[in-house]
Structure 1
Amino acid sequence: MVRYQTILRWYMIIFISYSLTGWLGPINLLLPVQQVMAAALAAAGGLLLLLDLLTNRSCFKVPHSRWLLAFIVVLAISIILNINYGWSSNLKTLYWQILQAGLFLPLYVILDDTQRTQGVRILFWVVFILITLVNLISVGMFFAQYSAVFIDAMGKTQRLGFIDGRNFGLYIDPNYGGVVSVCVMLATCWYLLSCRTSRATKIILVASLVLNWFFTVSAFSRIGPTCGIAAAVVWLALHLRNQRNRGKKLDAKRLDAKQGGEQPFGGSTIQARTVDKANHLRKTVLISAVLVAGLVGSYFALSAVDTSYATWAHDNDLFGSASRESIGGSQWYPGPIDHGPENISNNRFSIWREYLEFSLDYLVFGKSPRNVMVQILEDHPDSFIAKREYGPHSGYVSIINATGWLGFATWLVLFGFFIRGLVGYLRRHTQVSVGFILAVTLLLVLLMKSG
């Protein structure tokens, strides 16, 4: 029989390749390659799960009943959401559910400090950290644009969306995209609740968890918000159960020590460490909940306003129908601005460079962008926004700015949270640090030479 570690090693290599093809390459050209890789990943993931069951290796360090329960809960939610769309949609949901379970359930085995697939772990961490940083920049730029209300001219920037960075570069049907992040979130939850690893690693995973949660809830699909809420409920239930079990074990240890008449050697130290771990986990969950509430609340407030704005912009052809339709935008989502068909094949580094340039101009050099939203409302007094008394002096723009600043401030906390964990992790892992520095250098070179 093929060795377990060999399967795991090839699984991670294919996963990294799959993520990079979705992140860097044109979707229409690499979609067949991604589909083949997805099938290979699902098969490898299923084989890993089967070996885990047959050999009782407990590599996931959680009871298998929990995996099964999560699968049933999320599948039931998906079926309920798609019940009006017939059996075809339910079969698609089941297909994506099984596929993504095979993709993501074995993923977190590699993160355990006790595993010894060193080369693949180093490569995975470098890619994982880079993709998470890019996604963090995307979220930050989203709120920064709203807090500043865009830059000097709309035609010189790109309307920031979640398509490029969402779900770790995994491009699938957006109507079922929430299933991907739910699998990631559930796996992360159980990993955080069960594995033994460094605090820096857990901080990075919590930041990634919050980020995926935000992408899921903000996904332009009917399933995203509900899946995000379902994951929150499941996470809370698991956390409470875990805390209750830890409390029972701690009480049992105290009772045994009391009945024995004296503490066993090192008993008090073990109890103190158990209490410290439980308190740290409780604080981690609380911080994550606050971050999620800030990001999600800010997004929902902005999206409620932006839906009206996007519809009006579409009616007035503000973004140009050619650029919107050619690059995949819709009447509800403006899509990239002022990029005609000749720029469709541009790689995404040019997009990220524009985001980074705007970020530096706004955050570092202190440039103050003019209020384009106010200018639009003043230039188009007959628009339906103005007719609905959403004029520039009605507090409409002030609400956008305040909500944008709330989301941006929350993002800054999350970004600092992530950087803290990243620095702690890189200080302990020299090989990953070297790979990370080389990867960042290569990324910056490509950014400077693109576009």
Structure 2
Amino acid sequence: MNRIVPVLEKSLLSRDAFRVINLIICLLYFMPSTFNVTNIPMKIAFAWGGIIVLYEVFIKKNFFKMRFSWLLIGAMISFILTIIINRENFLIPSIYNFGYLLITLIVIFPADFSQSEEEKKKKMVYFNNVFIIIIFLAALISIYQFIFLISYHVPTGTPGLLARQGFIEHRLFGVYTSPNVGAMFGYTSIILSLISVLISKITKTIRVFYMMNFIVQIFYITLSSSRGAQVVICSFLVLFLLLFANSKFRKSIREVLPVKIKWMVSILLVLLVYFSFGTNYAKDFLATIPVSIDRKVEVIESNESDKTPLPEKEVILQHSSDNSEISAGRFTIWKAALKVIRPTLLFGYGETDFYGNSDAKFLKKVDLDTTDVNELKRAHGNMHNGFLQVLVSSGIIAFICIYAFYVLNIFSLLKTFFRSKVNYAFLGIVLIFILSIFIDEMVEAHVLFNKRDVISIVFWYYLGSISYLYLKKGELI
């Protein structure tokens, strides 16, 4: 038995292995052109994660050693009450959501207290490289689709719902579920490459690859016309520039990056100006590149009335003329969500896809107009706001516990950054990356209660890493 346990801890019970394999599955899930190849692997990963949850809770107990974990325990207990209260409407979906919540908070989030500093760094770089390689290839394929104006539809896991792929509606979806998703993945891959450079000695070949990925992702983000991603990137760049006001940060990052501070600042300013004002000019130029093809690839035959027409001869890169992409109708979704949560504010519903996972008869007591109903149906459970996603899913009690946890962690990490001796470059970059995700949460829902979300995996992994390193053990990475 003593021989079996170490073997299991390095394989079946390894949270590092689970993070990486689950990351790959979730990345492919957000690429409809894989034709639902992840259906069975997702179920296996869910069961695998459940096994590790039990092992962690009763044997390893890493989660309970994390700072402020008692707040997350409070949120979990509150969500159990949510499941009980909503058992007639959402028993199975809410249990499913609770499973993902446990996997996120108990498997992905906690650091491994038995690992050495060097081992932690190797695991991080490996995790980062897996993410970067997949997103690099996905972006390359997507740009190829743009150059040859390839567009098509593929079936999704939701009956009757088709996913747009390639260059459609004047935006580059590429192989992703949406341009916004692809842009956020591209942004995240750039940040992860920067983190890898900060925590490990990277070979020249890897540096060249990171630079190639940077260029490819800039192209994809520009072609995606994602306003949300632009706001997130600009917020990160502004925070990055503010970090240079700290002399300890300047010294720390100068020791790692072979670039003078003035050149770093200049590059950041150029990027900030580009994403603030220059993308429209870039899109005008990029619109001259595609080679028009006469036929459009259709993966399935469909009589859907909203089938996307063939690309026009003139390539236009912009949002739809009716301005429906102003938050993609998010304001009306938010309004409907706020109405829905009123009758059950304390504990929420346990699920947000009201019309996909139930008959929604219980919503008759809510004063919803036709627009509200249509928007909730169109949202398919995505409130396009991380704060509302948590509130509607779990209620205000769990909401307070979760966001108190965020605030206490970030406040403590900021205090550590300014008052303690740490790796200022690493901690500073990860902190502003996490803060930029919170900015994105204003228009998207990634961090919690959005099953299989890739940004959530990265967010919780790095929050757990810096929380452990700087709040619990006081070790330097």
- With normalisation by structure 1, the TM-score equals 0.35
Which structure has more helix as a fraction of its residues?
1
Structure label with greater radius of gyration: 1
- With normalisation by structure 2, the TM-score equals 0.34
